[in-house]
Amino acid sequence: MIDYTELMAFMEGSKLSPWLKELQSQIDKGLDEKRFGDLPAWKASLEALPAVTSSEVDLQTQVKIGASADTSEGVKKQIKEALQGLIPWRKGPYTVHDTHIDTEWRSDWKWDRVLPHLAPLKDRLILDVGCGNGYHCWRMLGEGASRVIGIDPSPRFVVQFYCLKHFTGPRPIDVLPVGIEGVPANLQAFDTVFSMGVLYHRRSPMDHLR
């Protein structure tokens, strides 16, 4: 289930509150089934996921959710089939209750190269621009960030992210179906902003940085 209730409650009264004026309409537009014909099928994959308690969640050395003993082989098969309904998975890799998602890109390699050069992320409010399905968002949370908000206009990536969050339980991490242009100008609310893998797609890189 994609639910932004807790995020919006956090934003109320914070430096992020100016965003609330237009955020709901941005979400509605970004997850509009009339605009994205495949979205109902992707949501069906999310809704097909069984309720499973994950006894282990590793976000520091990898993104691994769940232990082998958490559920039966039959339920693991059900999880695998639902996750396959969202192929292609680009950013990753992930392991979800013994289903290994061998993604198109090795985002863990990029993270391992970037991490030594970062200031500590502990207790920081972070924005990840063009986050895809949120792989790096999870790793940022694993480094102790107080909250991570990813933005990406692709609804498939948003649904993929919430498939993962389905198994982690409530955590201060979300992915919004919004592009960088949807973030209010001069918001100045985040402690750290990432833009990894977006710059070279922009016609004007300097405008993107500004």
- Cα separation, 97 vs 72, whole angstroms: 10
- Which tens digits make up the pLDDT trace of 156-196? 999 999 999 999 999 999 999 999 999 998 899 999 999 98
pLDDT of residue 205: 78
Mean pLDDT computed over 126-139: 97
Please report whether residue 203 resides in a domain. no
DSSP alpha helix (H) spans, the chain: 5-11, 20-30, 39-47, 73-84, 107-114, 135-142, 155-168, 205-209
For position 129, which CATH number holds? 3.40.50
Is residue 209 one of the residues assigned to a domain?
no
For 153, phi then psi, to 5°, come to -75, -5
Please report the pLDDT score of residue 92 as a whole number. Answer: 97
* Residue at 201 is within a domain: no
Nearest Cα to 67, choosing from 101, 97, 99?
97
Q: Judge whether 35 lies within some domain.
A: yes
Whole-angstrom CA distances from 128 to 41, 125, 151 are 26, 10, 6
Residue 175, in any domain of the structure: yes
pTM of the model: 0.94
CB 64 within 8 A of CB 58: yes
What's the rounded Cα separation, in Å, for the pair 160 and 157? 5
Number of domains observed in the structure of the chain: 1
202 in any annotated domain: no
- The domain of 35 spans 5-196
- Position 84 scores a pLDDT of 96
Q: Tell me, yes or no, whether 33 lies in a domain.
A: yes
Report the share of the chain in percent with pLDDT over 70: 100
Examine the pLDDT at 199 and tell me if it is beyond 80.
no
Has residue 210 been placed in a domain? no
- pLDDT reading at 209 higher than 90: no
Strand 173-176 with 192-195, pairing: unpaired
Task: List pLDDT tens digits, range 38-79.
Answer: 999 999 999 999 999 999 999 999 999 999 999 999 999 999
Euclidean distance between CA atoms 122 and 24, whole angstroms:
29
Q: Which residue has the tokens 């537009």?
A: 29
